[in-house]
Structure 1
Amino acid sequence: MASSQTRIEEEVTGFSPARSETRPVRKRRRLTKLLLLVLAALLAYTAFDLLAPRASRMRSFDPSEVARLETGMWRSYYDKRQLRLYNQMTELLRSQYNLPFLRSNTVAYQAARAAFVFKGGHNRQEYEKALPYLISFYTSIRKVSDIPFDIDRAARLELQWWIIHRERDRHQSGDLARALAGLQSELYQLPAERFAEHARLRADAMTIRDTKADDGGVTEADWPRIDELLHASWQSLFNVVNN
């Protein structure tokens, strides 16, 4: 009799305890399926971003944009603004090296880490602690580059000009420019003398920053001249590799 009464109440009210209990279960199952689909999509995107083949035409860059970003990165580096430097590097890698979002972040980390490890060094042995990060950085660039440069040599040439610049009092005035030209020679597989103008202009920009810093600090009035030299430097490099 009670069972019949219950069925009658269910028919009248449309309420069933059994059906009521299954609704939350079904809702949880749908939510779980949705979360799994989102997770699968994220994993697929991550794999594609980090592992899918990419190609970068090393000669096809915007010299004005590279100069703008380099000026900004110099300011961030010397102001010890690591996060800003990191963001500027990711922008450079995405816009000029055709790296996707996640990959640009992992590669930028290697570059920024190398810079600040080097910054904390006081002698060659300590400076060379930055080398593994530079090798990792150039390994990533080589994977997308259309020019077959030597990864280890490029990393060591990068570190070499950093050291010459840091220890400039121990070097002749032309050493920094020669080191800068040597790096581009390796990256573009062209004779170093073809990059003499690019290297000289870039070295001149560094000299202004260094001299002003030694004299009490770089002012806002100094940065436009530094930026102007860097624009001329990267334009010169662009002209060399595209002619």
Structure 2
Amino acid sequence: MEKIMPKPTRLPDRKPGWWIGRGTLLFLFIWISVDLFVSQPHSIREFDPTEVAQLETAMWRSYYDRKPVLLFWQLASGLRQQFHAPFWRSFTLGFQATKAAFVFKKGTSQLEYQKTLPDLITYYEAIQKLSTDSFNVSKVANLELEWWIVHRQRERYSYNDLANALGQTSAALYDQPAASFATYGRLRADAMRLCDEVRRHPGGATEADWQRINRELEQAWGSLHEVVRVPRL
């Protein structure tokens, strides 16, 4: 009697879209993994001051207009522009910065403000890993918190105090004399004062007000860039 051999099992046909989808997911997985875990340091001295100023203006506007999702996206864009953060890592850095800001926002005393420090240190440790320039992470984090406090407690501190605190923070970040950042500190403090003043107007800040704020910030970041930039040979 003739033995009937079983027919070989046939694998189901895969449509081209299936392979494209698998390939896309694999590419995305590799991209995110490399982006998050492989460091490609750049100098934090190299940035476009005009672009940074525009992003900061937009972030202030989104913050006061209570648009948190847009603010988070703008913050990530700012981190890519100023600190050369890779695309996906810019969102993890943005989350760390946002977390620190909200811990600070809830504080009402010096002791409560200090609870912000661990998040700020974690944030600046991540910036350090992205940078070819070294700085004292703890010192920069403490000075960052200091100018936040000075700006928050305007009944206690002046805008001159704020300008000095901003200059001290940048001096620590770029490891240069604080006197070099006096103009930057004054101009950025002036932009903050203008923002504080126009928001108290009936109806809040106008489009013209935001344009004035942006011009102030362009001058501030332009001044800082002139101080820290690496001369081209």
Common fold by TM > 0.5: yes
- Structure 1 residues without counterparts, runs of 5 or longer: 8-15
Superposed displacement of residue 173, structure 1: 3.6
Give the Cα separation in 1 of the matches to 2:144 and 2:62.
19
Give the Cα separation in 1 of the matches to 2:32 and 2:212.
41
Per the alignment, residue 141 of structure 2 pairs with: 155
Question: What amino acid does structure 2 have at the position aligned with 1:104?
Answer: S
Per the alignment, residue 70 of structure 2 pairs with: 84
Q: Among 37, 45, 57, which residue is 1:59 paired with?
A: 45
Percent identity (aligned): 44
Per the alignment, residue 109 of structure 2 pairs with: 123
Per the alignment, residue 186 of structure 2 pairs with: 200
Give the Cα separation in 1 of the matches to 2:168 and 2:60.
21
Per the alignment, residue 114 of structure 1 pairs with: 100
Indicate how the Cα distance of structure 1 residues 34 and 241 shifts in structure 2: closer, same or farther if over 3 A, else same.
Answer: closer
Superposed displacement of residue 132, structure 1: 2.2
Contact 1:63 1:231 in 2 (8 A): yes
Question: What amino acid does structure 2 have at the position aligned with 1:117?
Answer: V
Indicate how the Cα distance of structure 1 residues 27 and 202 shifts in structure 2: closer, same or farther if over 3 A, else same.
Answer: same
Contact 2:150 2:161 in 1 (8 A): yes
Indicate how the Cα distance of structure 1 residues 161 and 34 shifts in structure 2: closer, same or farther if over 3 A, else same.
Answer: same
Per the alignment, residue 230 of structure 1 pairs with: 217
Superposed displacement of residue 89, structure 1: 1.4
Contact 1:63 1:235 in 2 (8 A): yes
Aligned counterparts, 1:162-173, within 5 A: 162-173=148-159
Question: What amino acid does structure 1 have at the position aligned with 2:216?
Answer: L
Q: Which has the higher contact order (CA 8 A, sep 6+)?
A: 2
The structure whose Rg is larger is 1
Give the Cα separation in 1 of the matches to 2:170 and 2:200.
28
Corresponding residue pairs, total? 228
Question: What amino acid does structure 2 have at the position aligned with 1:144?
Answer: L
Question: What amino acid does structure 2 have at the position aligned with 1:201?
Answer: L
Q: Which moved more, 1:158-167 or 1:108-117?
A: 108-117
Give the Cα separation in 2 of the matches to 1:100 and 1:173.
35
1:196-223 CA deviation, whole Å, 9 max, x = no partner?
1111010001111112223442222211
- Structure 2 residues without counterparts, runs of 5 or longer: none
Superposed displacement of residue 164, structure 1: 0.5
Higher helix share: 1
Give the Cα separation in 2 of the matches to 1:93 and 1:17.
63
CA RMSD of aligned residues (A): 2.9
- SS across alignment from 2:176: coil
Contact 2:44 2:84 in 1 (8 A): no
